[in-house]
Structure 1
């Protein structure tokens, strides 16, 4: 690779770091703070900020002498939602799981070694875990659908994911020891079900079952979340709803793929 090409890639990587840093901040961020936090020179930081402002990804707030997210970020978020939108049949499966389990229900899709929440079914009586909205993809070691993904990855792929994401404590109950986590994943492989108890949010637990395509490849998960006390008292009702939901979603995935290829007519 030429030096010029490497420089262009480095600029893109730096710009993404700047964007991520400002997105993670509570409010507008001054250029000097961006430079100090990311270890960049001030001239380089101003060049990156100006480029991002020109593209609409950031806005400059002169009165505050700081930078904040721009409208293009919202455009990207809407684009992501369109691209990960699930078929109506999968939404109906999630609605049935929500009703049967009396719990918030989720469909998470596998995208390039990430599990991303693609659909949520909730109600005032059974709300979702707040961070688990459409687009959520963090902390695979601490979520039930994340543990499912880690369980089906090869050892090398699993290590690569964990090297990238880390295994930080999300709550006091989060498993942060790789050996313990790997024992959990072996259990997931054996049972075909992932459960996390208080690992992502204290007092709440999640359960997930795998969804596969027609070739048997893991493509997503049906999951629920509920208070830990209810998971313990209604474990088997919840598990039955999740497992049946995953079976139904697997059938939908196969039929949808067949319909797109023209082999069968799409279902109602």
Structure 2
């Protein structure tokens, strides 16, 4: 079945989102013919959608290059998304402190609806984040330390449903993809209060995470760091102590805020 077959019965808004996704995936934008070819969508349909999306400022027509690129309205949507996900300044400061003290890229992840999403990242040129784990990343929770923390906090049915919906693809040779082995992994996270992943998401980077909790002990988020595997091996004990400390302080900073009710 071609992609056009899967799009035929979809509403125009779904086709528009598919078009936005494909334009976003090309750093220089795309011509109408390129979009039509990649989506296997009739060229007149593409032109009609492009006209609508340019008028709404979700796309811009780069006339000199005969291409279409992302529009500036999407920047406003990004800003609104960041406000809705909401990382309080006190938490952002603690994540930055974690970055400095651990000498590693630092992350804060939360539950948002049925997703596990990165809400804040602090990195530096010498300690960059894992690509693509920027703000809004919500994939491969089974292969990330912060994802394991939040999955371990779910009841068995919810966790099973999450993994069935998102799958457990093999990201690297080290990714745990067997459900029985993964259940044992999550049990270890619950017992120790720390999650680790050793090059399970991407080769050349390992992570460690700790839970952020309410006063009642409900896990509502996770703080994590990523680093070179050799550095991770040498410093894992030191970093685990630091993560527990920062996670505890983030938990206290969040208590009494609306974020805990999500």
TM-score bracket, normalised by the shorter chain, equals 0.7 to 0.9
Aligned to 1:97: 98
Helix, strand or coil for the counterpart of 1:199? coil
In the comparison of the two structures, how many residue pairs are matched?
253
**1:40 matched residue in structure 2:** 41
- The alpha carbon displacement at 1:66 in A equals 3.2
Secondary structure of the equivalent of 2:217?
A: coil
Given that residues 85 and 112 in structure 2 are in contact (C-alpha distance below 8 angstroms), is that contact kept between their aligned partners in structure 1?
no
Instruction: Map 1:76-95 to 2 at 5 A.
Output: 76-95=77-96
Q: Which runs of 5+ in 1 are unaligned?
A: 1-6, 259-268
**Which residue of structure 2 aligns with residue 151 of structure 1?**
152
Q: 1:145 to 1:75 in 2, by over 3 A?
A: same
1:63-117 Cα deviation digits (max 9, x unpaired) = 4443221111122122222333422321232233334333222212221122322
Q: Are residues 27 and 240 of structure 1, via their aligned partners in 2, closer, same or farther at CA, if it must alter by over 3 Å?
A: same
Q: Which residue in the other structure is 1:112 paired with?
A: 113
Residue by residue over 1:129-184, the C-alpha shift from the partner in whole angstroms, topping out at 9 and shown as x without a partner, is 34333333222222111222222234443344334433333334333444433332
12-21 or 123-132, which deviates more: 123-132
Aligned to 1:262: none
TM-score after normalising by structure 2: 0.82
Deviation at 1:23, TM superposition (A): 1.0
Q: Scaled by the length of structure 1, what TM-score is found? A: 0.81
Residue 193, structure 1, aligned to residue 230, structure 2:
no
CA contact (8 A) 2:108 2:222 kept: yes
How big is the shift at 1:26? Answer: 3.7
Q: Is the 8 A contact 1:214 1:253 kept in 2?
A: no
Does the aligned pair in 1 maintain the 2:172–2:201 contact within 8 Å?
A: yes
Matched ranges for 1:1-268 at <5 A: 10-257=11-258
What's the C-alpha RMSD, in Å, of the aligned pairs? 2.9
CA contact (8 A) 2:215 2:255 kept: yes
Partner SS state of residue 200, structure 1: coil
SS at match of 1:234: helix
1:178/1:59 CA distance change after superposition, 3 Å: farther
Structure 2 gaps, min length 5: 1-7
